[in-house]
């Protein structure tokens, strides 16, 4: 039995997850010490001393009820999220998305936590795993010293360190006189094919590989070097390549045909302009709903932006390509949660220890807020001696927690809210929008029933 005077919780990291977690626990009568290392120690991406700083985009994604991000927000609203409320109060016009004035948002969260009678904010770096009840929410840019402590706790093989994103091309700038729409073997939802394919002949393919292997790479920032760079390129914590995320230029260096047998393989594709299978194919996948942006599949890269522009414009059909975003590699510290966490976000090996945010393998601002909420709630319940909450798998938050704690090792990659992780509906609905609306409706009904049950029990 836990005694009143012992009901103190340490929260490590005052980002999105840690701020929400601290609030949730404090609201349930727990005394919280929230440790944030900024501004004394920086992450390299954050620029302010505020809690809950948004490091990049100011958009928290869709608010529409039949979108995964919209559903997650609806769940957070029902669960009483502080950060969602602060976001809604600092919203700027952005159509059906929730975009915020990032400064007002962070100031609101900081003020709410500073003024909470149960919360003390400590501006210090935590360098070891606390030996008291705690939530670790130190984010993708966890300080190196704490990362080392985590590796000691979990075993080096259970901690990953990086993430990779591919460039995005503006649809209008793709030459459709050269490219063609098709899915491999004609699979896909649109009749004309879900992918735009850029077909290489042999000569142009080898010229491209030659340019790619000699292009200049970005000098990694000091805080990224130890984890993103190795003699052969980028590797995961366990010292083996994470094949799905290798930078394209590293893969190209394995041999002239490595790409043609890898992400650029042409199997299942026939170029309607020639009637033949190309030598190699770059596939572009729709990146936004409007269909104005296309993601270069498998093209995560660490090349300099100017080099990406020069080399990727050698791809047939992309000679005039405009890049809405260049590829990047950045540090992303996350646990192999399937081996380490329960769906309650409790650490398997230590009952008073919880994890929240990006470090659990959940991706995206709202997902990180959501795991903070659950970890704060459960840490408070643990301290009060109550059974922990496992949310229904039909809810988006329940599904995210289930996914990160049950995925297989081979497939485990950071996951953001999406309908694909929810259990199937009892009967198949062909229309995508109607299907997503049904998923959302079911999720909210289950969540409401779950909350009602808890009130009456
Ligand atoms: C460069 C970058 C850009 C991103 N852009 C987006 C985007 O546009 N949209 C999106 O949805 N997601 C984005 N993400 C992913 C993710 O949603 C955000 O990183 C999000 O902020 C993660 O929330 P978090 O609470 O887990 O971590 P954070 O919000 O980063 O919070 C972690 C906090 O812990 C502190 N900390 C770290 N180590 C210690 C320590 N040892 N002691 C004390 N404090 C410590 C940090 O200073 C930080 O304040 C991005 C990630 C990165 C790295």
* Residue ranges of domains in the chain, CATH in brackets: 4-162+332-456 (3.50.50.60), 167-326 (2.40.30)
Which atom number of ligand 1 is nearest to the Cα of residue 38? 47
Ligand 1 center to residue 327 CA distance, Å? 19
Separation in Å, CA 264 to CA 29, 73, 246: 56, 37, 14
Average pLDDT, the chain: 88
pLDDT attached to residue 170:
85
Would the pLDDT of 349 be above 60?
yes
CA-based radius of gyration for the chain: 23
Q: What values do phi and psi take at 14, rounded to 5?
A: -105, 45
Say which residues have a Cβ less than 8 Å from residue 218's Cβ, sequence separation at least 6. Answer: 302, 303, 304, 329
Ligand 1 center to residue 159 CA distance, Å? 16
- Kind and range of the H or E run holding 195: strand 195-200
Would the pLDDT of 457 be above 50?
yes
pLDDT attached to residue 166:
83
When pLDDT is averaged across residues 114-136 and rounded to a whole number, the result is 98
- Mutating to test ligand 1, I would choose from 35, 53, 56, 61 the residue with most ligand atoms within 8 A of its C-beta, which is 56
Would the pLDDT of 256 be above 70?
yes
Would the pLDDT of 248 be above 60?
yes
Would the pLDDT of 238 be above 60?
no
CA 194/CA 274 separation, integer angstroms: 20
Buried b (16+ CB within 10 A) or exposed e, 400-415: bbbbbbebeeeebebb
- Ligand 1 — pocket residues by CB below 6 A? 12-18, 35-38, 43, 45-46, 55-57, 125-126, 137-143, 146, 330, 357-359, 364-365, 368
Whether residue 170 contacts residue 295, with contact meaning beta carbons closer than 8 Å, is answered with no
pLDDT tens-place string over residues 148-178: 999 999 987 888 877 677 888 888 899 999 9
CA 223/CA 43 separation, integer angstroms: 8
Ligand 1 center to residue 216 CA distance, Å? 28
Which atom number of ligand 1 is nearest to the Cα of residue 18? 25
Ligand 1 center to residue 250 CA distance, Å? 27
The closest residue, in CA terms, to atom 8 on ligand 1 is 57
The model's pTM is 0.76
Would the pLDDT of 239 be above 70?
no
Ligand 1 center to residue 142 CA distance, Å? 8
Whether residue 43 contacts residue 222, with contact meaning beta carbons closer than 8 Å, is answered with no
């Amino acid at each position: 039995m836990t005694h009143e005077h012992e009901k103190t919780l340490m929260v490590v990291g005052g980002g999105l997850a840690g701020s929400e977690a601290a609030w949730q626990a404090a609201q349930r009568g727990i005394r919280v010490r929230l440790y944030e290392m900024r501004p004394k120690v920086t992450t390299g991406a954050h620029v302010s001393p505020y809690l809950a700083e948004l490091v990049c985009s100011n958009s928290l994604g869709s608010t529409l009820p039949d979108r995964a991000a919209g559903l997650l927000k609806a769940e957070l609203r029902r669960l009483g999220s502080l950060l969602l409320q602060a976001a809604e109060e600092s919203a700027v016009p952005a159509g059906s998305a929730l975009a915020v004035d990032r400064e007002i948002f962070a100031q609101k969260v900081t003020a709410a936590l500073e003024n909470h009678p149960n919360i003390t904010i400590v501006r210090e770096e935590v360098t070891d795993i606390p030996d008291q009840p705690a939530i670790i929410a130190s984010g993708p840019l966890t300080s190196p010293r704490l990362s080392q402590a985590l590796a000691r706790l979990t075993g080096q093989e259970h901690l990953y360190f990086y993430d990779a994103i591919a460039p995005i091309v503006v649809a209008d700038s793709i030459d459709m006189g050269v490219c063609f729409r098709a899915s491999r073997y004609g699979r896909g939802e649109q009749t004309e094919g879900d992918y735009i394919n850029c077909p290489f002949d042999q000569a142009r393919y080898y010229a491209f590989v030659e340019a790619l292997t000699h292009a200049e790479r970005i000098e990694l920032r000091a805080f990224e070097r130890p984890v993103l760079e190795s003699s052969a390129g980028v590797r995961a914590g366990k010292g083996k390549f994470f094949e799905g995320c290798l930078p394209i230029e590293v893969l190209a260096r394995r041999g002239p045909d490595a790409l043609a047998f890898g992400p650029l393989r042409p199997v299942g594709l026939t170029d309607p302009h020639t009637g033949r299978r190309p030598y190699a194919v770059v596939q572009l996948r729709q990146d936004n709903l409007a269909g104005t942006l296309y993601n270069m599949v498998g093209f995560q890269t660490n090349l300099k932006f100017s080099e990406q522009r020069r080399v990727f414009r050698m791809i047939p059909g992309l000679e005039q390509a405009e890049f809405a975003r260049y590829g990047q590699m950045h540090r992303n510290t996350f646990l192999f949660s399937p081996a380490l966490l329960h769906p309650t976000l409790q650490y398997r090996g230590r009952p008073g220890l919880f994890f929240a945010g990006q470090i659990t393998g959940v991706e995206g601002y709202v997902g990180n807020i959501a795991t903070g909420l659950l970890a704060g709630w459960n840490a408070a319940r643990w301290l009060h001696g109550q059974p922990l909450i496992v949310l229904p798998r039909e809810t988006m938050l329940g599904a995210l927690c289930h996914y990160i704690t049950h995925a297989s090792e081979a497939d485990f990659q950071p996951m953001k809210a999406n309908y694909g992780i929810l259990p199937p509906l009892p009967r198949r609905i062909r229309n995508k929008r109607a299907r997503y609306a049904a998923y959302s409706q079911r999720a909210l009904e289950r969540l409401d029933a779950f909350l009602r049950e808890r009130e009456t029990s």
